[in-house]
Amino acid sequence: MKNKIQFVIGLLLTLMLLLTAIPMGVMAETQEKSDVQIPIVAEDNVQLSEEAVSVSTDAMTTPLCLYRTHVQNEGWQDWKSNGDMSGTSGKGLRLEGIEIKLDQQGYDVGVSYSTHVQNIGWQGSKADGVTSGTFGQGLRLEAIRVNLTGSDAELFDIYYQVHAQNYGWLDWAKNGAEAGTQGLGLRLEGINILVFPKGSVAPGATTTPYVSVDAFLNNIKGDWCNQSLNVAGPHLKIREPNVESGLLWLGMKWHEYRYRIVSISRDGKSGTIEAYKWNYYKPYTTSSGSTAFQKVEMDVNPPDRYVYNFNANTLIESKQIGSSNRVIVYTRN
């Protein structure tokens, strides 16, 4: 009996040892496999270690944009970056020149830029710290375009925002779009510039970075009718952009006005023009009995004003006659 008990105890001990040894062996094998470094293979079949992958994605950061402006009465300011304003605010001083460059942070990327200058128009593109605009000539910057260059340019977006006379800070433009004003004779006073990874959320609103006379005139051009008249229209015709005149036709008389822009809303959907020159074509009968017209030039003083409202689709004329003010409402023909 004693021998049987000893046999059973020995058998149980043997089984316990076997059960303990099997998972330890498996664990040892698993640990051995985990110590093996598995290489990472790139798309072009080049093997990269985990350290190399970490370096390629983390060692470089977004390029840093540096910029400075030449300001009326102050000259060149210090370099700014990270969206800090270059220029002035609340002083009424014009920007006259600008230089922009990048701290590339290891990327193949550069920057090009062009400015719209008073009495000159759009200048050719400058790049990587070269002056765009003028200094010492007293000419204002009115608009700017900025773009990234180089093989890595597609990895980033460059945003820029300008402070324009009468409008304050306009919305953000990016990647070569115009920022500022056109045709209004207004100065730029300040600018911010930022570089972000491609597709990042914009730093602010992007709806109206640019206020354009041409866009406004495209909205108001065409034929307008005074519904209170019994004479067939159109009674007022606004010509194509860049032609600074309107035509007003009443009966057998032609009136040609030269007008100028007084103000435009940011979105170009409302604004005011004023007619300051009047060419009246007076009909007369020639010796042969035919009708001809004699041009009579006159100043309009005070100028007639026309206020455009896109939403109401109206053009309201305000004309001073003696001590009274005549108002005419025109609608689209």
Question: What tens digit of pLDDT does each residue of 156-185 get?
Answer: 999 999 999 999 999 999 999 999 999 899
Please tell me the distance from the alpha carbon of residue 37 to that of residue 294, in angstroms, as a whole number: 96
Q: What pLDDT does residue 71 have? A: 97
Indicate if the pLDDT at residue 12 is higher than 80.
no
Q: What is the pLDDT of residues 192-235, one digit of tens each?
A: 999 999 999 999 999 999 999 888 888 888 888 887 877 777 77
Please tell me the distance from the alpha carbon of residue 216 to that of residue 321, in angstroms, as a whole number: 28
Indicate if the pLDDT at residue 53 is higher than 70.
no
Average pLDDT over residues 6-25: 53
DSSP three-state, residue 216: helix
Among all chains, which residue has been given the structure tokens 């042969």?
288
Q: How confident is the model at residue 63 (pLDDT cuts 50, 70, 90)?
A: very high
Q: How confident is the model at residue 286 (pLDDT cuts 50, 70, 90)?
A: very high
Indicate if the pLDDT at residue 151 is higher than 50.
yes
Encoded amino acid at 118, one letter:
Q
Tell which residue, 187, 77, 190, 70, has the closest CA to residue 136.
Answer: 70
The fraction of the chain above a pLDDT of 70, given in percent, is 76
Q: Which two tokens stand for residue 133?
A: 């605009």
Average pLDDT over residues 325-332: 88
Displacement of CA 17 from its chain's centroid (Å): 77
Q: Which two tokens stand for residue 213?
A: 């006379």
Q: What pLDDT does residue 311 have? A: 87
> Cβ of 119: how many Cβ atoms within 10 Å?
8
Among all chains, which residue has been given the structure tokens 């491609």?
198
Indicate if the pLDDT at residue 320 is higher than 90.
no
Of how many residues is the chain composed? 333
Q: What pLDDT does residue 226 have? A: 85
Please state the pTM of the whole predicted model: 0.71
Residue 58 phi/psi, 5-degree rounding, is: -115, -20
